[in-house]
Amino acid sequence: MNKNHRVQSSRSLSAVEVKSKFGAEFRRFSLDRSKPGRFDEFYGLLQHVHRIPNVELLVGYADVHGDLLPINNDDNYHKAISTASPLLRLFLQRKEEADYTAFGTDSLTRKKNTVLSAVLLRPDANRKKPPVIISLPRDFRPVSSIIDVDILPETHRRVRLYKHGQEKPLGFYIRDGSSVRVTAQGLEKLPGIFISRMVPGGLAESTGLLAVNDEVLEVNGIEVAGKSLDQVTDMMIANSHNLIITVKPANQRNNVVRSGGGGGGGGGGAASGSSGRSSDSGASYYGYSSQAAAASMPMHIIQNFPVDELESEDEDLVIEADGEAEPIRRAPSNYSMPSLPRYEPHLNLRAATTSVSSSALSINANGTLPASGSSGSLSNTNATSTTSSPDRATERRSLEEDGTVITL
Amino acid sequence: MKRFRRHGQESQRDRLKQELFQFNKTVEHGFPHQPSALGYSPSLQLLAIGTRSGAIKLYGAPGVEFMGLHDENAAVTQVHFMPHQVELVTLLDDNSLHMWTLRGHKGLSELLEIGRFTLTGPPGAPPSVTRVTAVLAHASGELLLLGTEGGHVFIVEVPGFRELEERNISLDQVAASVPDDYIGRRNLEHVEALQENPINPNQVVIGYGRGLMVIWDLEKQCAIQHIPATQQLESVWWTEDGSYILSSHSDGSYCRWMVGGEDVNEEEEKSDIPYGHFPCKAISKIIQLPTEEGPPFLLFSGGMPRASYGDRHCITVIHSKTHVALDFTSRIIDFFVIRDGLQHTGDPSALVVLVEEELVVIDLQTDCWPVIQTPYLVPLHSSAITCSHHVSAIPLKLWERVITAGELQHTHYSKKPWPITGGQNLAPDPPQRDLLLTGHEDGTVHFWDASGVCLYPLYKLSTAGVFHTDTDPNDNMNQGAEGEWPPFRKVGCFDPYSDDPRLGIQKIHLCKYSGYLTVAGTAGQILVLELNDEAAEQTVEAKVVDLLQGQEGFRWKGHTRLDVREEPVLFPPGFQPFALVQCQPPAVVTALTLHSEWKLVAFGTSHGFGLYDYQQKNNVLIKCTLNPSDQLAMEGPLSRVKSIKKSLRQSFRRIRRSRVSLRKHHVNNTAKLQEANARLEAELAEMELAPVQRKIEARSSDDSFTGLVRTLYFADTFLSDSSHNAPSLWAGTNGGCVFAYMLRLPPVEHRADEPVTAQPAKEIQLMHRAPVVGIVVLDGHGAPLPEPLEVAHDLSRSPDMQGSHQLLVISEEQFKVFTLPKVSAKMKLKLTAVDGSRVRRVGVAWFCSSRTEDYGESGLTVLTNQGDVHVVSLPHVKMQVQYPCIRREDVSGIASCVFTKHGQGFYLISPSEFERFSLSTCHLVEPRCLVEAPLHSGSSNQHRSQPDGASSAHRTRQESEDAGKKSVRGFKESQ
């Protein structure tokens, strides 16, 4: 098979020579510098020349400074074409295998084994937009964590309790209480919601990120001020598959790093136990104006975790009458990522390249594949998964999750 | 640029929203909760009711009603209309007086509070001095006489509430003139009653609690006569000719005293204890009214023998030889009598009695004194309301048949028209006929005309006849034995006692085109009924449906199935049951729907759902939705109570244990002891305060009642492939599951013999597992599918079957649109995750634009557990508007809410009252009425409600003054 689908490169200045690498394979072709076209056309072309029509790709290129920068929209595509001198080196990665940490202009985040050996390190002032893709959390195994440390006041803590795929109960209780806050009128006692109890062995306790008497300030980016206990309860339960709570810890001593355990059970007595219900006056101690924080917070709430991205976890399961179970595909309009358009090749190329065959995830429309071993409990019902869209790892995960659904 | 354009679109959308939606609470239907005072104006023909919550409601002719609310949250204890005026005065529990008026505004009257007043006594006087106990609105219309607990009578000029101190009648003035031999003269007690002389408004009688009555001349400011009754006084009545005073007393007696004559030691002319011999309860109010020819009417409340009938609520009416003790089912608040004639001076025509739970009007001019059906203030809660169902735009045919069936039930009512006719109803005729059906605890379904301001009872259906119940329905006929004394007669329809709680109606569905009705009850019974204009005797065959389908390991600990009558039962004209399904286990039916075109009924309980073919009378489908680990659903309603008990017991044990352990603890130093005590105290305090905690836990399939069926829906849509539509049944559960079944119906000609089949087609498990409360299929245009048979009656409603259909699943937390037939998520609106509220009630409604008649759009009307109503657009599920509607603490109000198809809604504000609200700019049902100040010709001028035929020079003068004043007032109002 002749894989050298090589485009004649003209040596003239108007042409940009492109060397595209996908896995171990290279393709070379050229583009007209003055008429680069749109990114989606380019993307399609890449899929075409590599003969990987249904593989979702991350496209990166080496800029003049040797940084690996992404190409995912018209702007950075045109930038890449215009700055290529004269060779444009492209690095394609399978999206689900992508190593996002490789991208970036900042040497601090770059790993040593970066594909390019960068020499010059300087912030690129020319770039208008920050890289859209820094990381794609859904490509990782999510775990509970403290997040957004950089944008929150240090008296606050945003905790992501990641329940997905775990048997552990979330496991905590909340109650009404009152907290003292600094306002324009001076100190004011305001009603608040507090964590009242941890369920032993629950997710909340085991992560050690929350503690009894922590005041709950936000639930998934929405302030709880003015909401009743029942409302906050319902909000938390509605978000329980991926719960992000911003708290003001009762114990303000070790604000960023905490060891597990917390002050539960009131055993400590002296420090946290006596302060009881209205233990919360941390704001005034630290000279931090909660007003300012409240004002600035909503903008940042979802900076690190876009809402849509969270929603991609929220997938319903449909069982067809003949025993097929499938997670409900999301309609394209709801994709959180700027979705990459798929290029429909003119020729119906048989997917003969080695890169495709290994992937159980990319399937042509309406094709069925026997569920692999990872689909857990569903496999014993002989269910087959049917997808009509490029599959995602998360969908597979939700299949595992919902394996308990009653079979017909 | 783009941004700018979008902004323009948004503002356009905002304008459209304003044309489509607005929120109003329009009218309250039913009977005011906890009425506490009654007033009546013969000249205005208006009735006023005050309530314990401080509301004041005025009613006249049907449709004429006004409502006011006192700012103070205090009970209204007295209501008095100013004679011949549009003003009325209310006395509240907090001793404040309020003046209200009906003011004209843009051709309509509105009830406004125009003044308030609290008596101020001399400095240092105890509060009792000014505590008002009796109010008399003087015939002049300018004075209020206020009798107080201290025994004084204050005179106040109205409408300005100016105290006329020089005219006050102090206790000392009166006491000084009391005859020395009167035994109670040391302490006359409070002023119990104030009445004026019907023929001479300058004379008033002041009745003191101790029994003494004093006739006082207001002009001369002196006592004219003393009436030395010795029993505790309850009420005073001055007969119309002015010659007698009747007094009623706490020992159950009443006395008649001659007025006039110089004889100071007037003896009572007549004294009687009507139900005497044994000690009697007080007669709280007494009235005597003359008739043109013949003996007068004597009416009094109370006076029953204490031991044997002390618990009865009775009004006795005596006329000539007729003597009846009207026996009410709840406490009597007050009563008055309406009189014939233009000037309302003729024979008594109707007795109006306000009891705690209803208003009863008795026709006094027809033999046997039948009850007149009330057009408003009907007690919705004659038996407790358990559910409601609204049907808009009833076809005329069905409407007339229901009315005819209802009229046959109303034969025992008086034929007389409603006697209270004040004001004019200016509201336009309702654009359509609407029915509100209420299901009740006793197994009845009441059909109400909900088209207009008056919620009028049309028809009542009882399902109890189908079953054997503990009591024979004939028991209630209360045929008093001949010669029974007192001669009781039961009146009123308030009957809160249910024979059997299992009869309670839980779900109702009426097809307005075919007249088929299905109702489902507490013990898993589902009845299918058909409207029949003739009485029929038939046996109702029961079909038992085992919803467990072989699920094992469960025990039903709840109630048993209802016992069906096996012999034929005679059903009166109206809705007659012809099919009965009984679920096993007999749990409450939680979802019900009927498709009259396919002749199918779907029903669901906490265990599963079923599909019943009521033409062939057999089951098509039974599906168990029970989760094997859900013990609670299985055991029935009892176990929950037990668990509360258990948790209580545990917490008590915990307290005890901590005490014991403390005692055991060896405490050797006092500081430690104190500390321990403090801790214990804190612990106890915490328990007493019961710090409310809420558990945060992801929902799982193991939760209780996940199998409870919340909603059922029939749709003709594309369930399995996109080219052929087919009948389908959809069911949503508490656990966030949606089951879809494809139905195969035989062709019409073989409908009776070939079986209907149901094939499982799809099952959707919502990831967030919230209860599914609504399922709607949207057609190719994004409009909800029409109701069954709707297209047959109105071709314009035929759905678009060309474009692809969409499925809208409404859970308590989200609105989610899926494509069909391939179920993939298309759009959603999150509610709970964003603001913490949950969907409690949802309906599909059509909203018309107020500006252009031809524009309208459909939307979802939603009520949340926070008591807010929302409109969500279709098919794009975008939040449109949000209004606070019900207090979030008012759980029963939220649970009772029902939406109409045109953006209105009803919810219970008390067990007996529906509040009606509207989200629509076009469909508003609210009272629009006008009450004009009585412009009486020289003849009308009764002071108080009972003037007499005898006229005097004095009276005529008074009348003309009155008339003149009135016209001035009328002129002012018209400005």
Return the CATH number at A190.
Answer: 2.30.42.10
Cross-chain Cβ contact B825/A173 below 8 Å: no
Structural domain harbouring B336: 278-377
Which regions of chain A are under pLDDT 70?
Answer: 1-13, 98-143, 164-166, 254-314, 321-408
Q: Does B342 share its domain with B360? A: yes
Interface residues of B toward A, Cβ cutoff 8 Å, are 691-699, 701, 720, 742, 759-768, 770, 813, 816, 818-819, 822-828, 830, 832-838, 865-866, 888
Residue B150 included in any domain: yes
> Which residue in the set B697, B764, B828 is minimally distant from A171, CB to CB?
B697
Closest Cα in chain B, distance from residue A197 (Å):
9
Q: Does B237 share its domain with B284? A: no
CB B858 within 8 A of CB B851: no
Spell out which residues of chain A touch residue B549, defining contact as CB-CB under 8 Å: none
Q: What is the pLDDT of residue A256?
A: 55
Q: What is the pLDDT of residue B122?
A: 78
CATH number, domain at A66?
3.10.20.90
Spell out which residues of chain A touch residue B827, defining contact as CB-CB under 8 Å: 331, 333-334
Spell out which residues of chain B touch residue A238, defining contact as CB-CB under 8 Å: 768, 770, 813, 830, 832-833, 836
Q: Does B211 share its domain with B78? A: no
Residue A195 included in any domain: yes
Closest Cα in chain A, distance from residue B760 (Å):
6
Q: Which of A73, A102, A131 is the last residue of a domain?
A: A102
Total domain count for chain A? Answer: 2
Q: Does B180 share its domain with B240? A: yes
Q: Does A28 share its domain with A93? A: yes
Residue B587 is given by DSSP the state P
Cross-chain Cβ contact B762/A239 below 8 Å: no
What are the beta bridge partners of residue B69?
B55
Six-digit token pair at B25? Answer: 């609470």
Closest Cα in chain B, distance from residue A198 (Å):
9
Q: What is the pLDDT of residue B4?
A: 52
Closest Cα in chain A, distance from residue B763 (Å):
5
Q: Does A79 share its domain with A148? A: no
| Residues B623-649: tens digit of each pLDDT | 998 877 666 665 655 444 445 556 666
Residue B549 included in any domain: no
Cross-chain Cβ contact A328/B764 below 8 Å: yes
Cross-chain Cβ contact A196/B695 below 8 Å: no
Spell out which residues of chain B touch residue A171, defining contact as CB-CB under 8 Å: 696-697
Spell out which residues of chain A touch residue B759, defining contact as CB-CB under 8 Å: 321
> Which residue in the set A176, A237, A318 is minimally distant from B699, CB to CB?
A237
Cross-chain Cβ contact B767/A241 below 8 Å: yes
Residue B573 included in any domain: no
- Chain A residues 225-244 with CB within 8 Å of chain B: 227-241, 243
> Which residue in the set B759, B827, B836 is minimally distant from A232, CB to CB?
B836
Give Cβ neighbours of residue A143 (< 8 Å, ≥ 6 apart): A162
- B696, B700, B762: best to mutate for the A interface, most A CBs within 10 A: B696
Q: Does B287 share its domain with B268? A: no
Q: Does A156 share its domain with A219? A: yes
Closest CA to A367 of A49, A51, A54, A52: A54
Q: Does A19 share its domain with A93? A: yes
Closest Cα in chain B, distance from residue A339 (Å):
16
Strands laid side by side in the B737-744 sheet: A325-327, A317-320, B757-765, B737-744, B726-733, B709-717
- Chain A residues 131-190 with CB within 8 Å of chain B: 163, 169-176
Q: Does A154 share its domain with A234? A: yes
Give Cβ neighbours of residue B388 (< 8 Å, ≥ 6 apart): B436, B437, B438, B439, B508, B896, B898, B906
Cross-chain Cβ contact A232/B695 below 8 Å: no
Q: Does A95 share its domain with A150? A: no
Q: Does B368 share its domain with B334? A: yes
Q: Does A162 share its domain with A218? A: yes
Total domain count for chain B? Answer: 4
Cross-chain Cβ contact A176/B761 below 8 Å: no
Q: Which of A248, A276, A304 is the last residue of a domain?
A: A248
Sign of the alpha-carbon dihedral angle for B571, B575, B580, B581: negative
Closest CA to A262 of A327, A195, A309, A308: A195
Cβ-based neighbour number of residue A266 at 10 Å: 13
Structural domain harbouring A86: 15-102
> Which residue in the set B694, B768, B823 is minimally distant from A318, CB to CB?
B823
Distance separating alpha carbons of residues A30 and A47, to the nearest angstrom: 15
Can you give the pTM of this predicted structure?
Answer: 0.74
> Which residue in the set B768, B866, B888 is minimally distant from A314, CB to CB?
B768
Q: Does B329 share its domain with B284? A: yes
Q: Does B154 share its domain with B261? A: yes
Residue B686 included in any domain: no
Q: Does B69 share its domain with B137? A: no
Residue B575 included in any domain: no
Closest Cα in chain B, distance from residue A330 (Å):
5
Residue B689 included in any domain: no
Residue A266 included in any domain: no
Cross-chain Cβ contact A175/B693 below 8 Å: yes
Q: What is the pLDDT of residue B742?
A: 94
Q: Does A242 share its domain with A149? A: yes
Cross-chain Cβ contact B764/A320 below 8 Å: no
Cross-chain Cβ contact B824/A328 below 8 Å: yes
Q: Does B267 share its domain with B168? A: yes
- Chain A residues 193-222 with CB within 8 Å of chain B: 196-197, 199, 204, 220, 222
Give Cβ neighbours of residue B59 (< 8 Å, ≥ 6 apart): B46, B47, B48, B49, B65, B376, B377, B420
Cross-chain Cβ contact A234/B692 below 8 Å: no
Distance separating alpha carbons of residues B396 and B407, to the nearest angstrom: 16
Closest Cα in chain B, distance from residue A20 (Å):
36
Cross-chain Cβ contact A196/B837 below 8 Å: no
Distance separating alpha carbons of residues B417 and B374, to the nearest angstrom: 10
Q: What is the pLDDT of residue B614?
A: 93
| Residues B550-573: tens digit of each pLDDT | 777 777 888 889 999 888 999 999
> Which residue in the set A174, A228, A320 is minimally distant from B696, CB to CB?
A174
> Looking at the complex, does the CB of residue A295 fall below 8 Å from at least one CB of chain B?
no
Q: Which of B341, B356, B377 is the last residue of a domain?
A: B377
Residue B646 included in any domain: no
Spell out which residues of chain A touch residue B760, defining contact as CB-CB under 8 Å: 321, 408
DSSP for B294-328?
A: SPPEEEEEE--BHHHHTT-EEEEEEETTEEEEEEE
Q: Does B167 share its domain with B263? A: yes
Q: Please report, in angstroms and rounded to a whole number, the separation of the first and last CA atoms in chain A.
A: 48
Q: Which of A219, A248, A277 is the last residue of a domain?
A: A248
Which regions of chain B are under pLDDT 70?
Answer: 1-8, 183-186, 261-268, 470-483, 629-673, 682-690, 701-702, 795-796, 935-975
Cross-chain Cβ contact B697/A232 below 8 Å: no
Cross-chain Cβ contact A316/B838 below 8 Å: no
Residue A352 DSSP SS3? coil
Largest distance between two CA atoms of chain A:
80
Cross-chain Cβ contact A231/B866 below 8 Å: yes
CATH number, domain at B180?
2.130.10.10
Closest Cα in chain B, distance from residue A304 (Å):
18
CB B412 within 8 A of CB B372: no
Cross-chain Cβ contact A196/B691 below 8 Å: yes
- A166, A301, A308, A316: best to mutate for the B interface, most B CBs within 10 A: A316
Cross-chain Cβ contact A175/B834 below 8 Å: no
CA closest to B764 among chain A residues: A318
Q: Does B151 share its domain with B268? A: yes
Spell out which residues of chain B touch residue A333, defining contact as CB-CB under 8 Å: 826-827
Residue B3 DSSP SS3? helix
CB B531 within 8 A of CB B401: yes
Residue B780 included in any domain: no
Q: Does A157 share its domain with A237? A: yes
CB B356 within 8 A of CB B34: yes
> Looking at the complex, does the CB of residue A379 fall below 8 Å from at least one CB of chain B?
no
Q: What is the pLDDT of residue B844?
A: 94
